[in-house]
Amino acid sequence: MSASAIADGLRRVGGGTRRAISRLGFAARFALAVLLHSPEGLKRIRLTLREIYFSGVLSLVIILVSGLFVGMVLALQGYDVLQRYGASESLGILVSLSLVRELGPVVAGLLFASRAGSAITAEIGLMKATEQLSAMEMMAVDPLARVVAPRFWGGVISMPLLAALFSTLGVYGAYLVGVKLIGIDAGAFWGNMQSVVDFRADIVNGIIKSAVFGVIVSLIAVFEGYDAAPTAEGVSRATTRTVVASSLSILAADFVLTVFMFRGVGVV
Amino acid sequence: MSPTPPARSTASFDRRRTTAVELDGVTFGYDRTRQILTGISMTIPRGQVVAIMGGSGCGKTTILRLIGGQLRPRAGRIMVAGQSVPDLDRDGLFALRREVGMLFQFGALFTDLSVFENVAFPLREHTDLSEDMIRDLVLMKLNGVGLRGAAPLATGALSGGMARRVALARAIALDPMLVMYDEPFAGLDPISLGIVGQLIRKLNDALGITSVVVTHDVYESLKIVDYLYFVSDGRIVAQGTPDAVRASRDPFVRQFVDGQADGPVPFHVAAAPLDTAFALDVR
Amino acid sequence: MNRSTIDLWVGIFVALGLGAILFLSLKVGNLVTTGAREGYHVDATFDNIGGLKLRAPVKAAGVVVGRVEGIRLDPKTYEAVVSLAIEPQYRFTQDTIASILTSGLLGEVYVGLDAGGDAKMIADGGRIAKTQSAVVLEKLIGQFLFDKAQAGGGK
């Protein structure tokens, strides 16, 4: 490789890094601005309700169906392994802890990012491309308060509810497979589960996780939409970025949160 | 006319001033490298319809954004009804935008609202009027543009010309003193062209407002405006009344008005000489 | 989509979501059993706690009456000090024996309490005097082999 090619490559990496960092800075300022404009946005409670509908209610089908199937598969695979050690009665514990602590918040978060997050990005991006945001500005209406903040809070409010519904359907799916199909004792299934799953340590932590993921996904979604290039290609790239960035951030945040939350449980 | 509550700011927009808009030596560029506008000076008297003409991408829309306070100039003065726009604070900008209506290219209607709600939007945001009053006002404005029957429709059901007219109704909803039009004639069929042109003129005279029209449609503009400015490469290269323009011998004006392919604005974009491009001098 | 329909669906959605959280808390978790009834704390010292972990159950007659709240090593006596949180409605006598047991052969390790006949009860912050350490498998096998060797050698 010639020296100039290497220098060129380095220059591009440097430039790309610098651009990425300044974009991150812009994103941080944007996030702050959204939070500052939220009180105005929340006064228009109708708008926020509408966004809860579009982010939450319209995601119900995919969340419920996925939760059910994940729970059923978890029960099948879990039973296969547990029964080798005569521990099939612990199936309820395995399924419920997996769902409540991890799978509920994370998988629901990933599904939410792809379904609702990309929709939010596309919507805001298109509004930018067709000058609707400019028109609002010229009519002295702040787009951050009227368009961005309601979508952000709609996502933040919907996420924990969706994650809880995912876990619930998962447990039910596991019950269907474990108790009804395989024949594990129902009392053992529920009883063991109840004695191990702790409200504060497991369920509350799971809810906290899903709330954090909700903030992450909603923030990324509204930012990418607002920052999209006002062309068809720009909007399409922005939606891709939303899904990819949200997914990676959820998984990274999950790791960090898990280390802090589940530190004392039998590991450390 | 409809009652609009007074602007809540120290900036006061005097509608009775003889000069509605004044630009003096305005210079603007997005960054150090590209200068979009240089030394733009124009005076727009109250009650007139003024056109700003030029080729695509010469900075016409930027002038509108500067007047509306969306952009700040690098140098020069921008006065609207006696107030300096770049010096306005947040409340001042708020008051300014209530006095200025803007019709965006292709309408920029809010796609999630119906026609009625689109026109009602500025009224809901800036006034405390009752639902009945808002309903009456919206229907009046829509009637003014001939679309009262389209009030319950969704924006997706409108043709291009109808969408443009609804956006016009929305722009005048608060009875502003100044209305700006960004390419109002772009992409319209002949009938809609005629309608939009007539509406611009009639509303201007009926409501006693001032209109600034950015366009490159010479034919329609000459029919309705009182004065024209020609912008090329970020500078004003010619100006005059419609008669003066029609009779003008300025090469740029002639090329623009007659639609000549070549003239002060060259046909060929800057490129390498023919010989080197086609390797004709290879022996 | 008119307003009342959206309101209805959002209401249903939020109700379902909160219901799911409630279900998880009550049916899956132990919200009913844990509550404002914070138990009282009692310490017990052991030579060896074996595989006892934090939050392991404390049982009496097989019934869960509390949890292990803390495990630490006494730096002076080199013994394990285990803090137990016991539900307030269960009081134990001063001569209760605390043992470290395993449920089944490979099950979880828990603390078993055997009440005695003493008239006085242990108070909050008190100490269980009589304890029985965990059975460590290696020591058990070692003891068995030793006894075997003893018996064989004695013949």
Minimum Cα–Cα distance from A142: chain B residue = B94
Give the residue from A37, A43, A120, A138 with the most B CB atoms within 10 Å of its CB, the best one to mutate: A138
Report the pLDDT averaged over residues B178-190. 90
Phi and psi at A44, nearest 5°, equal: -85, 75
Q: Please report, in angstroms and rounded to a whole number, the separation of the first and last CA atoms in chain B.
A: 79
Q: Which of A126, A132, A139 sits opposite B122 (nearest CB)?
A: A139
∠ CA(C79), CA(C85), CA(C91), 5° rounding?
Answer: 105
Report the pLDDT averaged over residues B165-176. 92
The residues, any chain, with a CB within 8 Å of residue A259's CB and separated by 6 or more, are none
Q: How high is the pLDDT of residue A267?
A: 42
Whether the Cβ atoms of residue A194 and residue C28 lie closer than 8 Å to each other:
yes
User: Neighbouring chains of B at 3+ CB pairs within 8 Å?
Assistant: A
- Residues listed for chain B: 283
Whether the Cβ atoms of residue A89 and residue A183 lie closer than 8 Å to each other:
no
Provide the number of structural domains found in chain B.
1
Check A50 against C30: CB less than 8 A apart: no
Check A140 against B102: CB less than 8 A apart: no
Check C27 against A207: CB less than 8 A apart: no
CB neighbourhood size of A1 (10 A): 7
pLDDT at B237 over 90: no
A68 touches chain C (CB under 8 A): no
Minimum Cα–Cα distance from C25: chain A residue = A199
A84 touches chain C (CB under 8 A): no
Burial bucket for residue A231 (CB in 10 Å: 0-12, 13-18, 19+)? exposed
Give the residue from A74, A94, A101, A168 with the most C CB atoms within 10 Å of its CB, the best one to mutate: A168
Q: How high is the pLDDT of residue B1?
A: 39
A96 touches chain C (CB under 8 A): yes
Domain membership flag for residue B116: yes
Number of A/C CB contacts below 8 angstroms equals 91
Q: What's the mean per-residue pLDDT of chain B?
A: 85
Q: Cα–Cα distance between A251 and A240 in angstroms, integer? A: 17
Amino acid at A209: K
Among A65-74, A91-100, B28-37, name the most confident range: A65-74
**Chain A: closest CA distance from residue C123 (Å):** 26
Q: Which of B96, B108, B109 sits opposite A134 (nearest CB)?
A: B108
Check A135 against B97: CB less than 8 A apart: no
Q: Cα–Cα distance between A79 and A152 in angstroms, integer? A: 40
Q: How high is the pLDDT of residue A43?
A: 75
| Token representation of residue A175 | 């019950």
Q: How high is the pLDDT of residue B10?
A: 45
Among candidate residues B1, B11, B190, the one with its CA nearest the CA of residue B97: B11
The residues, any chain, with a CB within 8 Å of residue B156's CB and separated by 6 or more, are B111
Provide the total of helices (H) and of strands (E) in chain A, helices listed first. 12, 0
Domain membership flag for residue B274: no
Domain that residue B157 falls in: 47-58+90-245
Q: Cα–Cα distance between A121 and A107 in angstroms, integer? A: 20
Among A52-56, A258-262, B75-79, name the most confident range: A52-56
The larger pLDDT score, comparing residue B267 to residue C97, is at C97
Domain membership flag for residue B142: yes
Q: Cα–Cα distance between C69 and C46 in angstroms, integer? A: 15
Alpha helix (H) residue ranges in chain C: 3-23, 137-154
DSSP H/E element including A258: helix A232-261
Q: How high is the pLDDT of residue B282?
A: 58
What is the DSSP secondary-structure string of A162-217?
HHHHHHHHHHHHHHIIIIIII---HHHHHHHHHHH--IIIIIIHHHHHHHHHHHHH
The larger pLDDT score, comparing residue A41 to residue C82, is at C82
Buried b (16+ CB within 10 A) or exposed e, A155-169: bbbbbbbbbbbbbbb
B7 pLDDT band, cuts 50/70/90, is very low
Check A195 against C23: CB less than 8 A apart: no
A202 touches chain C (CB under 8 A): yes
CA dihedral sign of residues A198, A204, A205, A207: positive
Phi and psi at A130, nearest 5°, equal: -95, 20
- Tokens 């070692």 -> residue: C142
Low-confidence winner among A159-163, A246-250, C122-126 (lowest mean pLDDT)? C122-126
Q: Where are the domains of chain C?
A: 1-32, 40-141
* Strands C126-128 and C40-46, sheet pairing: parallel
C9 touches chain A (CB under 8 A): yes
pLDDT at C33 over 60: no
The larger pLDDT score, comparing residue A115 to residue B9, is at A115
Q: How high is the pLDDT of residue A5?
A: 86
Check A140 against B125: CB less than 8 A apart: yes
Domain membership flag for residue B194: yes
Whether the Cβ atoms of residue B166 and residue B145 lie closer than 8 Å to each other:
yes
Q: How high is the pLDDT of residue C36?
A: 43
pLDDT at A190 over 90: no
- Tokens 């927009």 -> residue: B13
Domain membership flag for residue B11: no
Q: How high is the pLDDT of residue A125?
A: 95
What residues of chain B have any CB closer than 8 angstroms to a CB in chain A? 68, 70, 93-94, 96-98, 100, 102, 104-106, 108-111, 121-122, 125-126
Which residues on chain B are in Cβ contact (under 8 Å) with A132?
A: 108-111
Report the pLDDT averaged over residues C134-142. 82
Check C10 against A57: CB less than 8 A apart: yes
Q: Cα–Cα distance between C92 and C118 in angstroms, integer? A: 9
Q: Cα–Cα distance between A232 and A54 in angstroms, integer? A: 22
Give the residue from C10, C34, C103 with the most A CB atoms within 10 Å of its CB, the best one to mutate: C10
Q: Cα–Cα distance between C13 and B237 in angstroms, integer? A: 62
CATH number at residue B51: 3.40.50.300
Which residues on chain A are in Cβ contact (under 8 Å) with C3?
A: 46
pLDDT at B225 over 80: yes
Domain membership flag for residue B196: yes
Among candidate residues B49, B43, B51, the one with its CA nearest the CA of residue B17: B43
Phi and psi at B232, nearest 5°, equal: -145, 130
**Chain B: closest CA distance from residue A44 (Å):** 11
User: Neighbouring chains of C at 3+ CB pairs within 8 Å?
Assistant: A
Q: Which of A126, A127, A138 sits opposite B68 (nearest CB)?
A: A138
Interval B74-105: pLDDT, tens? 888 898 888 888 888 888 888 888 889 999 98
The larger pLDDT score, comparing residue B62 to residue A41, is at B62
Q: Which of C7, C27, C54 sits opposite A264 (nearest CB)?
A: C54
Interval B262-275: pLDDT, tens? 777 778 888 877 77
pLDDT at B3 over 50: no
C106 pLDDT band, cuts 50/70/90, is low
Q: How high is the pLDDT of residue A127?
A: 94
**Chain A: closest CA distance from residue C21 (Å):** 6
C21 touches chain A (CB under 8 A): yes
Q: How high is the pLDDT of residue A61?
A: 95
**Chain A: closest CA distance from residue C155 (Å):** 42
Interval B188-199: pLDDT, tens? 888 888 899 999
Q: Cα–Cα distance between A140 and A38 in angstroms, integer? A: 17
Q: What's the mean per-residue pLDDT of chain C?
A: 83
Which residues on chain B are in Cβ contact (under 8 Å) with A130?
A: 106, 108, 111
∠ CA(A85), CA(A86), CA(A87), 5° rounding?
Answer: 90
Check A57 against C13: CB less than 8 A apart: yes
Q: How high is the pLDDT of residue B226?
A: 92
**Chain A: closest CA distance from residue B258 (Å):** 32
Tell me the three state secondary structure of residue C69: strand
Phi and psi at B28, nearest 5°, equal: -150, 145
Q: How high is the pLDDT of residue A109?
A: 96
A65 pLDDT band, cuts 50/70/90, is very high
Domain membership flag for residue B66: no
pLDDT at A108 over 90: yes
Report the pLDDT averaged over residues B242-268. 82
Q: How high is the pLDDT of residue C1?
A: 57
Tell me the three state secondary structure of residue C88: coil
Check A203 against C53: CB less than 8 A apart: no
Interval A138-177: pLDDT, tens? 888 889 988 999 999 999 999 999 999 999 999 999 999 9
Whether the Cβ atoms of residue B150 and residue B70 lie closer than 8 Å to each other:
no
User: Neighbouring chains of A at 3+ CB pairs within 8 Å?
Assistant: B, C
pLDDT at B242 over 80: yes
| Token representation of residue B67 | 């007047």
Interface of C with A in 83-122 (CB under 8 A): 106
Check C55 against A197: CB less than 8 A apart: no
Interface of C with A in 31-50 (CB under 8 A): 31, 33-34
B6 pLDDT band, cuts 50/70/90, is very low
Tell me the three state secondary structure of residue C46: strand
What residues of chain A have any CB closer than 8 angstroms to a CB in chain B? 126-127, 130-132, 134-141
B15 pLDDT band, cuts 50/70/90, is low
Domain membership flag for residue B78: no
